[in-house]
Structure 1
Amino acid sequence: MTDYKEMYFLLFNKITETILNLQEVQQQAEEMYISQENFLSHIINLSAKE
């Protein structure tokens, strides 16, 4: 007989890990974007002073 409880927990744990990984990658991408925006705005401010 199939052990549905074991299958459910396997699926639930893998889906949870995947969601957490996606959230981590999204946060890293957002931090990269923000740091690039700060860098670009710094360059724009420097060139505006000239």
Structure 2
Amino acid sequence: MRTYLGAASNLSPENLDINAFENSEIVYMEGYLWDEPVAKEAYKSI
């Protein structure tokens, strides 16, 4: 399998609107995106 993460690998906390998650009961995050340090910081910010 040759997965290309593309723009998702550059996801950063600044790209997320935290207010959009405020009323969410579930947030699904792809585990393979956890590999990139900047994407990891974005996930932690939620």
Q: TM-score, normalised by structure 2?
A: 0.24
Please state which structure has a larger fraction of its residues in helix: 1
Structure with larger RCO (C-alpha < 8 A, sep 6+):
2
Larger of the two Rg values belongs to structure: 1
